[in-house]
Amino acid sequence: MNDLVQLTKENGIAVITINNPPVNALSPGVPQGISEALDQIAQDASSKAVVLIGGGRTFIAGADIKEFGKMTSGKPRGEGLLPFLLKIEDSKKPVIVAIHGTAFGGGLEVAMACHYRVAVSSAQVGQPEVKLGIIPGAAGTQRLPRLAGVAKAVEMCTTGNPVKAADALQFGIVDRIIEGDLLPGAIAFAREAATKPAPKTRERNDKLGNATENAPIFSAARETVAKKQRGLLAPVAAIKAIEAATILPFTEGCQVEQKLFTECLFSDQSKALIHVFFSEREVGKIPDVPKETPLLPVKSAAVVGAGTMGGGIAMVLANAGIPVLLKDADQLALDRGLATIQSNYANSAKRGRFTPQEAEERFKRITPTLSYDDFSKADLVIEAVFEGMALKKEVFKELDRVCKPGSILASNTSTLDIDEIASATSRPTYIIGTHFFSPANVMRLLEIVRGKATSREVIATCMQLSKTLGKIGVLVGNCRGFVGNRMFGPYRREAQFLVEEGASVVAIDKALSDFGMALGPLATGDLAGLDVGWRIRKEYRHLEKPGIRQPFVEDNLCELGRFGQKTGAGWYQYDEQRRAMPDPVVDDLIRKWVTVAGIPQREISAAEIVDRCLYALVNEGARILEEGYALRASDIDIIYLNGYGFPAYRGGPMWYADTVGLKQVYARISEFHRQHGEIWQPAPLLARLAEQGKTFAQLGKEEGAAV
């Protein structure tokens, strides 16, 4: 046996413990260690049954995801896990799995090959492979329907969502919940089991149903997947594999699963989703803010501005159990803000996200106020007033006066200079940007903007706070628009240019939606409110270089009061339910305006729409990286996946560019540069990487940047 697996014995029961921290993944050595332990136990007449348990915080959380990259880059796969699982299942002595933490992916597949499963009540089981763009690859799609039934297996394998121990018991995945300590409970269970014949999951067919029962399950699942997981290959493959379980003998079903697993594993989607998995964990690592950096307490908070963003942020804080003061200068605005919060909570309760009582408790954590009187108690203040430097500075000057020393003063600005805001205070080390995305209580992204004086403690505290709030915090530098909006500018600029050059509003949104974006760029504008960008452009007009082409349609729409969904009209017109409909009035206006502007009209393909919009993102992302405003290309990807509806299966804009090949991306951008002039100047970093045959992903590993 090896260091990863230990074998002990207690009162005639052999105990195999896996110790492969942090999550007991099935890394090379783990299956071998368990297998050798089983060999020894088979020889030991005094061991009547076996308990398999994980050491540390969890049972096996799955295959070692790092190994997948090696496999797809040529490492031979070996025989896989199937023979190992058959060996467990064929053990003459019953094997009982004792689950705590998470039995995920390969972990659940191991558990299902054992004869019995017991779990503590806090445990979870799941087949989360689809989230990595693959399907279970060790007979999970064959054994799970045999234990849990076809419908549950389909649900688990297509959504990847975990199942709590109590539900696992109800569905027959787990045989007993252990109250109290797991190991003694599992050993007691093993003693009972030792006297009975050990059931083999693969030989059970009682829950597999028949064709008439299963057909509606599969067709409903296919429909749901097409709607909710648009463009994803793995959920479709998972359904196919489970379907095989219902019509083929176990061994042949496994062969179907293997084939589908391999196809998924080698797909670009899986590579992208695995990139996302590791990037999400990398994003919290900041070179000059080590893990040990002391954190400041955040036990109470205040929000300035009860508008859409301020109200949403107050909800996010209240949801995390943090009492929050919500201030607005205007009674009417405050009342309106509070009413919106209350109705949002009521809707969440109606949809069953939490109980009415929980909604009430959350709502009660928010105290409305018209004054700064109680702000001296707040550990953290988040300003969310209108986007305007003069107003922000006024607010911060006041906050500096009323807040206690050591409280963090954060701005929710989406574009403005944090250092200039900090200059209105006497405590620039405590000033930071916390840029939430709308709707703040829904969107996962939080850009944390580091000013030049922001202290490490304040950064570490805000990074930690993002986790407490259920957000994914990404540290960015202080440049205009920070990372997300700075890139979004050129992206939406191109969408508008394309409209001016002859593409229809619908064609543009459709091209990007077909690419996988949650919403097209023009519809996104309508959702966010076209007036936001209009206001910002007005503020920054003096910074625009003369002679550079600027889009004008959106500003013209705003001049007509068409701000998007909130005014019932923008690029589209909206009905009562906020459903978008193409608006012939807009088409006519655009044609009139472009004729006046003398812009030649032409047919524009969907491919050009996608390239123009996405490469505008990538080119700006490359500049941001080079200028050090993002730590890693993967941080930019995380921002786009969590704040801008970029499809996860494409890995984010920078990963997508790597997938296309930077040489090709550079060539296309150079072509746009020749056609459209200076705004398409290729980023020097992109030019260099393309020339060297490298990727953005390699850059992160080799050079390291500073925010």
The end-to-end CA distance of the chain, in Å, is 46
Q: Is the peptide bond before 428 cis (omega within 30 degrees of 0)?
A: no
Instruction: Please give the Cα distance from 508 to 517 (Å, whole number).
Output: 12
65 counts as binding ligand 3H9 under rule CB under 6 A: yes
Q: Identify the burial level of 649 via C-beta atoms within 10 angstroms of its C-beta, where 0-12 means exposed, 13-18 middle and 19 or more buried.
A: buried
CB of 66 to ligand 3H9, least distance (A): 5
- Based on the shown chain and the rule CB under 6 A, indicate whether residue 61 belongs to the binding site for ligand 3H9: yes
Residue 640 tokens, joined: 């786009």
Tell which positions 376-435 bind ligand 3H9, by CB under 6 A: none
Q: How far is the CB of 239 from ligand 3H9 (least distance, A)?
A: 16
Instruction: Determine if 136 is a binding residue for ligand 3H9 (CB under 6 A).
Output: yes
Region from 19-27, 357-365, 404-412, 647-655 binding ligand 3H9, contact rule CB under 6 A? 19-27
328 burial via Cβ count (<10 Å: 0-12, 13-18, 19+): buried
- Taking each helix axis as running N to C, give the angle between helix 106-113 and helix 140-148, from 0 to 180 degrees, rounded to the nearest 10: 60
β-bridge mates for residue 216, sequence order: none
Q: Segment near ligand 3H9 (CB under 6 A), from 136-144, 460-468, 576-584, 608-616? A: 136-144
CB 94 within 8 A of CB 115: yes
Specify the residue for token string 């494409």: 650
At 248 the three-state DSSP class reads coil
Angstrom distance (rounded) from CA 325 to CA 371: 10
The contact mask relative to ligand 3H9 for 266-285 (x = CB under 6 A, - = no) is ---------------x----
Query: Which of 54, 106, 473, 484: binder of ligand 3H9 (CB under 6 A)?
Result: 106
> Which of the stretches 100-108, 209-217, 329-337, 677-685 binds ligand 3H9 when contact is defined by CB under 6 A?
100-108
d(CA 655, CA 678): 25
Give me the least distance between CB of 2 and ligand 3H9, in Å please: 18
**Binding range to ligand 3H9, per CB under 6 A, among 137-145, 464-472, 598-606, 620-628:** 137-145
Question: Which of the residues 79, 89, 129, 213 is marked catalytic?
Answer: 129
Residue 128 C-beta: closest distance to ligand 3H9, Å:
4
Give the DSSP letter of residue 60: -
Q: Which residue stretch of 17-25, 190-198, 223-231, 643-651 sits at the interface with ligand 3H9 (rule: CB under 6 A)?
A: 17-25
Indicate which residue of 36, 67, 109, 539 is catalytic. 109
Buried b (16+ CB within 10 A) or exposed e, 260-274: bbbebbebebbbbbb
Residue 104 binds to ligand 3H9 (criterion: CB under 6 A)? yes
Q: Does 177 bind ligand 3H9 (CB under 6 A)?
A: no
Selected binder of ligand 3H9 within 10, 46, 66, 350 (CB under 6 A): 66
**603 belongs to the catalytic site:** no
Tokens (6 digits) for 276? 């996302």
Distance separating alpha carbons of residues 125 and 61, to the nearest angstrom: 9
Our answer to whether residue 36 is catalytic in this structure is no
Is residue 25 a contact point for ligand 3H9 (CB under 6 A)? Answer: yes
- How far from the centroid of its chain's Cα atoms is residue 67's Cα? 22
541 binds ligand 3H9 (CB under 6 A): no
Which of 3, 22, 351, 598 lies at the binding interface for ligand 3H9 (CB under 6 A)? Answer: 22
Q: Using alpha carbons, list the distances in angstroms from residue 391 to 305, 420, 508.
A: 12, 12, 36
Give contact residues for ligand 3H9 (rule: CB under 6 A): 22-23, 25, 61-66, 80-81, 102, 104-106, 109, 128-129, 132, 136-138, 140, 281
- The catalytic residues are 109, 129
